[in-house]
A = this chain, B = another copy of it.
Amino acid sequence: MQEFLNVVTESIQDIKDHDKLEKFISFIEKAHRIFLVGIGRSGLVAKAFAMRLMHLGYTAFVIGETTTPRIEDGDLLIAISGSGETGYVVAIAKKAKEIGAKVVAITSAENSKLSKLSDFSIILRNRFGREVRDLAPMGTLFEVTALIFLDGTVAEIMERKDLREEDLAKRHAIENEVKVC
């Protein structure tokens, strides 16, 4: 546990590239609608960010959910894949580009298929070696730092737009308020 917490803490120190954040937020701001895609635990991070985008007042959807509309020209796809090589995610990103949507990659691999076809990439590098992967297996560090980076982006948007917690809470879905005996 302690060793894992140290590794996470060090990884957090690496998330601070302000130029990148500026540009990422401008992609979000300019988009007509925002779509998220990911597979496995990266897909869960995609959903966590999509939910906050909705709370912030953006129109956001997750690829694969029931009423997600067809992506269109003017929309933004945020594609999350540590390796940047996940077949399904690359295929969705390719299709979105064909249609004319913008694509932003969240990945740890600069030269991956996903990065190459994206309009812009947030690279969350993992500077740890092989031994850390028996502590944080199968992309764990990427997933945790991606969630933290994206929640930090939410903090940044709230500050810039002068939003309070209440402004988001009023969009909280009703299943959170079901009353039981």
**Chain A contact residues, CB within 8 Å of chain B:** 1-5, 8-9, 12-13, 15-16, 18, 21, 39-41, 44, 47-48, 50-55, 60-71, 86-88, 90-92, 94-96, 99, 133-138, 140, 143-144, 147-148, 151-156, 158-159, 163-165, 168-181
Q: Which residue of B lies closest to A162 (CB)?
A: B134
Q: Which residue of B lies closest to A130 (CB)?
A: B165
A42 → chain B, closest Cβ, in Å? Answer: 10
Tell which of B88, B140, B152 touches A4, judged by Cβ atoms closer than 8 Å: B152
Which residues does chain B contribute within 8 Å of A16, judged by CB atoms? 1-2, 5
Would A172 and B9 be within 8 Å (CB), given that A65-B65, A87-B177, A138-B55 are in contact?
no
Residues of chain B within 8 A (CB-CB) of A134 are 158-159, 163-165
Q: Which of B5, B66, B87, B168 contacts A62 (CB 8 A)?
A: B66
Candidates B5, B15, B70; contact of A170 at CB < 8 Å: B70
What is the distance, in angstroms, from A136's C-beta to the closest C-beta of chain B? 7
**11 contacting pairs across A/B (C-beta < 8 A):** A3-B155, A39-B175, A39-B176, A47-B66, A70-B171, A86-B176, A88-B175, A133-B165, A136-B155, A137-B165, A180-B181
Number of copies: 4
* Residue from the set A21, A71, A138, A144 with the largest chain B CB neighbour count within 10 Å: A138
Chain B residue with Cβ nearest A181: B181
From B86, B156, B159, B180, contact of A91 by CB (8 A): B180
For A68, give its contact among B18, B173, B177 (CB under 8 Å): B173
> In the complex the two chains form, is A178's CB within 8 Å of B88's CB?
yes
